[in-house]
Amino acid sequence: MHELLHISNLNLTFETHDGPVHVLHGVDLSVGAGERVALVGESGSGKSVTARAIMGLLPDRRVRIAGRIGFEGADILREPPARTKARRGRDITMIFQDPMAALNPVFKIRQQFTAVLDRVDRRLTGQEAEEHMRAALRDVSIVDPGRVLDSYSFQLSGGLNQRVMIAMALASRPKLLIADEPGTALDVTVQQQTLNIMGNLSQAYGTAILFISHNLGVVRKFADRVCVMYAGRIVESAPTDALFADPRHPYTRALLASVPRLSSDRLPEPIEGSVPDLSKLAEGCPFRPRCQLSRPECDAPVPMRRDAGRSVACIHEASAA
Amino acid sequence: MTKFLLGRLVSGVIVIVGVSIFMFFLARVIPGDPARLALGPEASAAQVEAMRQQMGFHEPYVEQYLRFVGGAVNFDFGRSLYTDNPVSQDIAATFPATLELVIFAGLAMTLIGGAMGIASAHFKDRWPDNSARILSLLAVAMPNFVWALFLMLILSFWLGVLPLTGRLSESLAAPPAFTGLYTVDALIAGEWQVFLDALAHIVLPAVALSLPGLAQISRLTRTNMVDSYDRPFVEFARAYGFPERSIALKWALRPAIIPTLMILGMQIVALLGNAFIVETIFHWPGMAKYGVNAIVRKDLNAMVAVVMFISVFFVLINMLIDTLVSFIDPKIRLKA
């Protein structure tokens, strides 16, 4: 598959008043054209920061960043910022967690959508833009686009707002759509509906999706491949079916065990302990303090083991597999 | 929308009637005999009594009040006990000067204060923000009259770039009265020199008058802009590559400006009150000075009339601001 996004050895540090916080440690991640990749992990594992680094949305004054973020051959970290900016809203777009908050409360949907379209094609006349918007809204199963365009976000339901966001995100037929916990703020059935709409349309347009989530259940139905993130590292990456059938990293296993299941009497098992403090993180496996298999050797740097489209960062992997 | 404005109008009328009752009786219960004060210690008891009769001070308060209301709706507030002119004539002579001052100060306050707030938020924690912070602190910490004297000293006395006092240089004649605002009248008459001279005269008093409000507006705008910048809708705007300029002046500003607008009405009316000090220092022949003199001399009719004028001004400004806010904040407009 033609590779669209290729992140290698991405390191990122926030400068704070209490000293540097190492948020990302050598993240490797790639998304092929049209592929759906899920980035899964607990809060604070670095998922959203990775997404914002791809968009170039991090405040450069407080952030030190190293490594490579390749997008269609260009290196986002080394190209002029204007190039990264030019890509936003055209080649890469983004969907946010809470659609209601992401839409501006004092502008009508029409004004915001027009501004989005203005980025896609400046030459559109008012009439063309209007038709474009109505068609895009119908594509996300909105039956009365005129009314929605005339509304403010607070007049629409969460599900409608989310569909408006999807329509805006796909208006430019982007190559990559970053969905940052889409619909987490919505109720489950509405979330599922909107995800289906997003999935179907992106497939039709050939848009790749980087799907950020902490919900493994949602990811299973949606993604081609899953990358599990922990404390600023990708600890395991595998095709979705393979990951769910045979999770190899102890953290992935723990994460799967913590998901409640309706079809089973087994209670979900919480993961003991909490995400480590990123300001004082040692070498070696970050999951070690919470891992049942931990051994003294886990303190040494962990190499990424790769085979047959899977990779996992655990020294137990060689013996366990 | 019409319903909304009508509601505002009704509550405005209630405010004005309330103020008129309060002021009318307050003016009559504060100690001191207005007739004696007006005529001076030399006047005989008979003269004072004659004046009291003439002003109707013997009648019951309610009767006096009704007569006052009857006159006020026709813009007749009686005679000033001190200048002996009809009060409405005195106000007509002094109000335009104050209005001009308040308009200029209000514009300076809103535009400079707003711009400072926006720049502060945009360059948060960098030098434009830090200097704006120090400036606002100074503007609030030092009272109006200190600023007025300070600005006069530097710009007029030492540098000589701006005139010291008054509305116009003595060598120039006032432009033909149309609005009573010298700058506007000079423009209408096409008298450039008069316009520039009037402008030069109003800069210092207007700036001195605007400073406390300017600082407050700058701080409030900054706070709300900073808050706005942290909101997901601004990240959305960035993620979709909206130009940074339009983010600052449109997408982040519009939601942030609403609280500023809401205090703007009060700030503008406060200018009228503070104008007294500035008018005194700059020898500005305005209504604020007239009003304070009326209170000091217990010039009943003038006092009540000036306060009525200010309350009408207050109600009008607030209606204007409310309308503006309802245009910007759809939640208010749609509820109305």
Say yes or no for a CB contact (<8 Å) between A88 and B246: no
CB A136 within 8 A of CB A93: no
Run of H or E residues at B334 = helix B330-335
A170 with A207: CB under 8 angstroms? yes
Query: How is residue B313 written in tokens?
Result: 């001004």
Q: Do B328 and A57 touch (CB under 8 A)?
A: no
Determine, for residues B239 and A88 on separate chains, whether the beta-carbon distance falls below 8 Å: yes
Which residue of A lies nearest to B241 if distances are taken between CA atoms?
A: A88
DSSP letter string, A46-73 = SHHHHHHHHHT-S-TTSEEEEEEEEETT
Best CA proximity match to A55, nearest among A235, A138, A178: A178
Residues of B in contact with A90 (CB under 8 A): 241
Q: How far apart are CA B97 and CA B78, in angstroms?
A: 22
Joined together, the tokens standing for residue B234 give 């601004």
Reported confidence tier of residue B234, pLDDT bands at 50, 70, 90 = very high
What pLDDT was estimated at residue A154? 94
Distance from C-alpha of B308 to C-alpha of B12, rounded to nearest angstrom: 12
Chain A residues near any Cβ of chain B (below 8 Å): 55, 57, 85-90, 93-94, 96-98, 101-108, 115-116, 119, 152, 154-155, 168
> Rounded CA gap, B265 and B260, in Å?
9
What pLDDT is stored for residue A280 in this prediction?
67
CB contact under 8 Å between B254 and A106, yes or no, is: yes
Residue with tokens 């705008």: B221
Whole-angstrom distance, CA of residue A280 vs CA of residue A206: 42
Residue of A nearest to B244 (CA): A85
* pLDDT score recorded for residue A281: 63
Q: Which domains does chain A have, with CATH numbers?
A: 3-104+176-320 (3.40.50.300)
The closest CB to that of B329, out of A89, A93, A106, belongs to: A106
The DSSP result for A132-171, as a single string, is HHHHHHHHTT-S-HHHHHTS-GGGS-HHHHHHHHHHHHHT
- Looking at mean pLDDT, say which of A33-42, B37-46, B67-76 comes out highest: A33-42
By CB atoms closer than 10 A (0-12, 13-18, 19+), residue B57 is middle
What pLDDT band is residue A204 in, cutting at 50, 70 and 90? very high
Q: Which of A83, A104, A108, A116 is the mutation pick for testing B, counting most B CBs within 10 A?
A: A104
pLDDT for A50 beyond 60:
yes
Q: At residue A91, what is the residue type?
A: D
Average the pLDDT over A43-48 and give the result. 87
Chain B's closest residue to A94, CA to CA, is: B239
Q: Tell which wins on pLDDT, A226 or A269.
A: A226
Query: Is it the case that residue A317 has pLDDT exceeding 80?
Result: no
A8: pLDDT confidence band, cut at 50, 70 and 90? Answer: very high
pLDDT at res. B47: 85
- Residue A282: pLDDT band (50, 70, 90) is low
Q: Mind listing the pLDDT tens digit for each residue in B141-178?
A: 888 888 888 889 999 889 888 888 888 888 888 888 88
Residues from chain B that touch A168, judged by Cβ atoms under 8 A, are 240
- Partners of A178 in the beta sheet? A94, A210
Q: Which residue has the higher pLDDT, A278 or A132?
A: A132
A284 or B325: whose pLDDT is higher? B325
Judged on CB neighbours under 10 Å (0-12, 13-18, 19+), A21 is middle
Specify the pLDDT at position A320.
46
Report chain A's mean pLDDT, rounded to a whole number. 88
How far apart CA B180 and CA B183 sit, in angstroms, is 9
The count of other CB atoms within 10 Å of the CB of residue B147 is 21
Judge: B251–A104 Cβ closer than 8 Å, yes or no: yes
Range with lowest mean pLDDT among A102-116, A274-288, B161-175:
A274-288
What is the distance between the alpha carbons of residues B98 and B92, in angstroms, rounded to a whole number?
Answer: 11
DSSP for B214-238, written as a single string = HHHHHHHHHHHHHHHHTSHHHHHHH
Q: What is the pLDDT of residues A13-45, one digit of tens each?
A: 998 888 888 899 889 999 999 999 999 988 888
Task: Show the CA angle centred on residue B58, arms to residues B56 and B63, nearest 5°.
Answer: 70
Residue-level pLDDT at A321: 43
pLDDT digits (tens, 9 = 90+) for B10-30: 999 999 999 999 988 888 887
Domains annotated on chain B, with CATH: 95-286+320-335 (1.10.3720.10)
The candidate with the shortest Cα–Cα distance to A299, out of A319, A311, A320, A282, is: A282
